[in-house]
Amino acid sequence: EIVLTQSPGTLSLSPGERATLSCRASQSVSSRYLAWYQQKHGQAPRLLIFDTSSRATGIPARFSGSGSGTDFTLTISRLEPEDFAVYYCQQYDSSPRMYIFGQGTKLEIK
């Protein structure tokens, strides 16, 4: 079973700064199967990025995803106050068929 490790665990930045979040897989994964979610306190996760780099409907252009193989990145170009939340990467493992989540990165206001 693939394990996803996100880093850092907590990222402290100020509005307007650039955020770079990392997701590393324990073995190579298809870029078609890597997604990112944002979760605010008390809310359900919201899909941001699917297939490594495609933005979900309604997601602002400041969110971008990249990567391949075992290393994937979510970048927020200029942080807005509403971007401070927890971010999860997720991979779909086709054998066995299951969704796997990373442990999350908390993006907090510095």
Partner 1 sequence: QVQLQESGPGLVKPSETLSLTCTVSGDSMNSYYWNWIRQSPGKGLEWIGYIYYSGSAHYNPSLKSRVTISVDTSRNQFSLNLTSVTAADTAVYFCGRSLSSSLDSWGQGTLVSVSS
Q: Which residues bind partner 1 (CB under 8 A)?
A: 1, 32-35, 37, 43-47, 50-51, 56-57, 88, 90, 92, 96-104
Q: Which CB, 76 or 102, lies closer to partner 1?
A: 102
Q: Which is nearer to partner 1, 13 or 47 (CB)?
A: 47
**Which letter, b or e, does each residue of 85-101 get, where b requires 16 or more Cβ atoms within 10 Å of its Cβ?**
bbbbbbbbbeeeeeebe
Among residues 62 and 101, whose Cβ is nearest to partner 1?
Answer: 101
Give the nearest distance from C-beta 104 to partner 1 in angstroms.
5
DSSP 84: -
The number of residues making up the chain comes to 110
Q: How far is the CB of 17 from partner 1 (least distance, A)?
A: 25
Find out whether 53 and 66 touch, Cβ atoms under 8 Å: yes
